[in-house]
Amino acid sequence: MSLISKILRGTKDILPEKTEEWRRVKDSIYKVFLDGGYQEIITPTIESTALFKRDKDDTSDVIQKEMYSFLDKGNRDISLKPEGTASVVRSVVETGLINNSLPLKLFYFTQCFRYEKPQQGRYREFYQFGAELFGSESFLAELDIIYYIDKFFKKLELENIHLEINSIGCDECRPIYIDILKEYLYKQDKFCETCKNRGETNPLRSFDCKNPLCKELLEKAPLINSHICSVCKGHDHDLKQALDQLNISYTSNPKIVRGLDYYNKTVFEFTSKEIGSQGAICGGGRYDKLVSEIGGKQTPAVGFGIGFERLIMIIEHQNKHSKLSEKVDIYIANIEKSTLETTIKIFKKLDNDGFKVLFDIMGRSLKSQFKYADKISAKKVLIIGKQEMEEGIFLLKNMETSSQQVFNINDFLEGKTII
């Protein structure tokens, strides 16, 4: 046997042994955000490339190097979405949803794509959960978003997850700081070529450089937190004070700049020590200009995204596995043609009564059916063969205790006896 095609590089199948965990985590985060007044939005997998390549000066790797773009048959420049936010913004502007009453609180769970060299734990197709809150300039918007992420992590009982916050300033104060940083980068000719080029475009991104020498030099670099204006300072201070009041612990980390260019004021990450230096599993921040950049009217916004694969990795690493799916209550074995009609009635009644009930579909020997019942962790096996039929009974074997009960078929179907 030879497969006519194998799975594409950088993609993966998520098999039943995993989907169980995925569903549990997904259900849990859906519940937290629905309870928090967020509504789900689903946007297309493909968008015009122009939606993501808005600015030719955009220096982020995601946009410059990692977009999964192609020309379609109509010669349109299409991209598989590299992240969730731009599509959501496009949608709320295009449909006018953003013109309704604010705040507008949305969340999404979506596939994202990056065309990069696949490596350990990084895929070309991956999943992201995220939320966006439109309409508020107040620090309370950040507080709202962070509160529910924190609540979700606490619900999962994850350990060693930590919130790091920074303010990257506004249009007033950031340019001044960037000039100071540029000067610092120019003075040091030991920086790598990429960082030197960043000096021209977006020097903030140097803080993401993995080069050890750059890292060392940046230890002494001027940091943005000592250069932000009083408005940004006040915003940052109010947010942190409110986080204190909510008992959400955090660290101020002036080196967080985030990988996308559209943020202002607050940026934050939730990190885990367990996945090495690239420890962020959730990143977000304020992006007051993105809506107008995409063509809507200026609307302040805050959002975040969680890399789902990484989250699952941490959960597995910490052995916070969900219990296996609810056990099968009853497995109906040994169905013969002569007993089929009655068996179906019994099945229907059990199903209606709310039992999780499965029946044999393979026609194997009773012995192998018991093996199978064991494999699927059935609590009880219902046996109804020819002989039982003639006696008007069925047997119910408890798989844990091996004890067996006898039931009268008619009494059971008429609801006179309960299992």
Q: Give residues in contact with Zn ion (CB under 5 A).
A: 169-170, 172-173, 192, 195, 209, 211, 214, 229, 232
Closer CB to Zn ion, 209 or 312, in the complex? 209
Residue 18, CB-side half-sphere exposure with 13 Å CA sphere? 10
Comparison of 97 and 192: residue with beta carbon closer to Zn ion: 192
Distances (CA, A) of 209 to 130, 192, 204, 301: 25, 9, 10, 28
Widest CA span in the chain: 96
In terms of CB distance, is 36 or 300 closer to Zn ion? 300
User: Taking the complex as a whole, how short is the minimal distance between the CB of residue 127 and Zn ion, in angstroms?
Assistant: 30
- Give the per-residue SS3 of 13-26: CCCHHHHHHHHHHH
Report the residue number, 188 or 318, with the smaller CB distance to Zn ion: 188
Among residues 112, 154, 106, 146, which one has the least CA distance to residue 130?
106
CB of residue 303 to Zn ion, shortest distance in Å = 20
Cis? peptide before 103, omega within 30° of 0: yes
Q: Least Å distance between CB 212 and Zn ion?
A: 9
Specify the residue for token string 């997850």: 161
What is the smallest separation between the CB atom of 298 and Zn ion, expressed in angstroms?
Answer: 17
- Give all strands (DSSP E) within 190-300, no chain letters: 250-252, 264-272, 280-286
Residue among 80, 102, 72, 63 nearest 8 (CA): 80
**At closest approach, how far in Å is the CB of 258 from Zn ion?**
16
For Zn ion, give the closer residue by CB, 278 or 387. Answer: 278
Q: Which residue has the tokens 């409110």?
A: 242
Cα 171–chain centre separation: 31
How far, in Å, CA of 195 to CA of 221, rounded?
Answer: 13
Assign 151 to helix, strand or coil. Answer: helix
- Opening angle at CA 307, ends 305 and 308, nearest 5: 120
In the complex, least distance from residue 167 CB atom to Zn ion, rounded to whole angstroms? 8
Nearest CA-CA partner of 288 in 170, 131, 201: 170
Of 164 and 288, CB closest to Zn ion:
288
Amino acid at 149: I
Q: Tell the smallest beta-carbon distance from residue 120 to Zn ion (Å).
A: 22
Nearest to Zn ion of 170, 409 (CB atom): 170
8 A C-beta contact, residue 233 and residue 206: no
**Smallest gap from residue 206 Cβ to Zn ion (A):** 6
In the bound complex, what is the minimum distance in angstroms from residue 187's beta carbon to Zn ion?
A: 15
* Nearest-10 crossing angle of helices 308-317, 16-35: 110
Measured from the CB atom, is 195 or 332 closer to Zn ion? 195
Q: Name the residue nearer to Zn ion (CB basis): 203 or 284.
A: 203
Q: Are 355 and 412 in contact (CB under 8 A)?
A: no
